[in-house]
Structure 1
Amino acid sequence: MSAPALQATGLTAGFGGRDVLQDVSLTLNDGEILCLIGHNGAGKSTLLRVLFGLHRPSAGTLRVFGQQPAQHNPATMGAAGVALVPEGRGVFPDLTVEEIFGLALWSAGVPKSGQRERIDDVLDVLPRIKEFRTRRAGTLSGGQQQMVSIGRALLTRPRVLLLDEPSIGLAPKLFQDLIRPIAALRQARGMSILLVEQNVREAFAISDRVLVMRSGRFIFEGAPSELDDHAKLMELF
């Protein structure tokens, strides 16, 4: 059996002396889509930031495919094959989509000889980007910006993709058009995905397993089918 894609043990982290995560342990299996849900302020985004090395935990360990990174920061996590699509998209409004992609490829150290292939791979997954690739990101709709944010992450050909609330501000149909091609990468490339999402119906449809977080701790773990009962789901919130 292959090592888990991500394995966090005993993570504790917070801000200003207040713990947001409290002794959190999580396993994302190789090739799995794991959905993380919970109320606002439960600690979901903080967990993703810690996993990607954007926020340092006060306690706990993290392994990526069985190996503990020498340093826990975005550069080493990216080199280990982990990519983050942050909440709020985080695109540079004054840059064109092509410039944003170019910057991402430069940052990832992809040689010029291989950049065209990387971009073509992303356009195969998210072909609508072709329609606005020369436009500045600040002129794009929310859905288009989300495509750019996801495309930027996919340029690094990650083995693990962390997605933080990709449906925010999107119509349900647009979210479907966005998330289903991403889920298909699990089959095509064996990618592991940790999805933080409030649109539980669409998220559960592509997920293998669900974690529910409340106040910095996990309070439920199981199959999406175990939460088909809306009343049970609401109890967990």
Structure 2
Amino acid sequence: MSNVPHLNHARKSGDEPFLEAKNLRVGYGGRPVLNDFSVRLEHNEVLCLIGHNGAGKSTLLKALFGLIPVEQGTLALEGRLVAKPTPKSMNSAGIALVPEGRGVFPGLTVAEIMRLGFWANGTPKGEQAARLDWVMDVLPMIKKFYQQRAGTLSGGQQQMVSLGRALLSQPRCLLLDEPSIGLAPKLFQDLLGPIRALQKERKMSILIVEQNVKEALKISDRVMVMKSGELIKEGTPDEFADNTQLMELY
């Protein structure tokens, strides 16, 4: 894995989380969505972030991936401060984002989307075939519609393409933004299975933002609840098994 641009050389520790943000202030047009917000994602952990619409969940993921600027606060990867995160630098650090709404180009075939993915993450040509074979092993269904245009695919198939494109970089960390949107519950379950299996195999860190709380909790190690840009509760999935309590938090 290549070194991360814009990182200082602070001492690393085995106890450092994979990703840690402290006292973040992030917003749009001068209006903060997150203010003094902190979060840490451990190595080999699935962290589920839940909350009502507009709570700031997607804004947090975009800030962590460098898609929107951090106005205040610090971001560190394995104990090393990131001075100015960008999608390119975060991808180089082993982080991949699966955006809300899938983000596939409907006029392109799946094969063309994968080639764009290789271009975006800078995968050398000599490694591309092996990477693609690996993704197909993780998500074998993609083989069936690999030459189809994305616009002709179902929502579940498009989500597989979006996830497959993110996996082309063989990331150490996945940021998943509402992967269940537009999917029937069974399709979402079929998608979560390979994600959890891959996470365990590669000891990945995953931060998943999700509205389908019941299914997301099944693959999570820890849960955080956001409300109006603030963290209001944190715990294990077992602590959130009571639907009545969850509704009160929302």
TM-score range, shorter chain: over 0.9
Deviation at 1:230, TM superposition (A): 1.2
Paired residue for 1:86? 99
Please, which runs of 5 or more residues in structure 2 have no aligned partner? Answer: 1-13
Q: CA deviation at 1:70?
A: 4.5
The correspondence for 1:140, drawn from 132, 153, 175, is 153
Secondary structure at the residue paired with 1:40? coil
What does the per-residue CA deviation read over 1:122-160, in whole Å, with 9 as the maximum and x for residues that have no partner?
A: 111111000100011111111111000000000011111
SS in structure 2 of the partner of residue 219 of structure 1: strand
Structure 2 residue aligned with 1:108:
121
Distance 1:156 1:206 in 2: 22
Query: Comparing 39-48 with 69-78, which one deviates more in the overlay?
Result: 69-78
Whether 1:36 and 2:49 are equivalent positions in the alignment is yes
The alignment's C-alpha RMSD in Å is 0.9
Matching of residues 8-23 of structure 1 within 5 Å? 8-23=21-36
Query: Please, what TM-score do these two structures have when normalized by structure 2?
Result: 0.93
Work out the CA distance in 1 between the residues paired with 2:221 and 2:28.
32
SS at 1:34's partner residue?
strand
Q: Structure 2 matches for 1:45-194, cutoff 5 A?
A: 45-194=58-207
- Counterpart code for 2:199: R
Give the TM-score normalised by the residue count of structure 1: 0.98
Q: Equivalent residues in 2 for 1:200-215 (5 A)?
A: 200-215=213-228
Deviates more, 1:64-73 or 1:126-135: 64-73
Deviation at 1:2, TM superposition (A): 4.3
Report the counterpart of residue 228 of structure 1 in structure 2.
Answer: 241
SS at match of 1:55: coil
CA shift digits 1:151-192 (9 cap, x unpaired): 000001111100000000101111011111111112111110
Deviation at 1:71, TM superposition (A): 2.9
Amino acid at match of 1:88: G
CA contact (8 A) 2:74 2:82 kept: no
What is the alpha-carbon distance in structure 1 between the residues aligned to residue 25 and residue 94 of structure 2? 23
**Range that drifts further, 105-114 or 35-44:** 105-114
Identity between Structure 1 and Structure 2 (%)? 62
Name the CA distance, whole Å, in 1 between partners of 2:144 and 2:152. 13
- Runs of 4+ in structure 1 deviating by more than 6 angstroms, as ranges, are none
- In structure 2, give the amino acid aligned to 1:133: Y
Unaligned runs of 5+ in 1: none
User: Matches of 2:247 and 2:54 in 1, distance apart?
Assistant: 16
Contact kept? 1:2, 1:30, Cα under 8 Å = no
Aligned AA for 1:125? V
Q: Which amino acid in 1 is paired with 2:46?
A: I
Equivalent residues of 1:69, 1:76 under 8 A apart: no
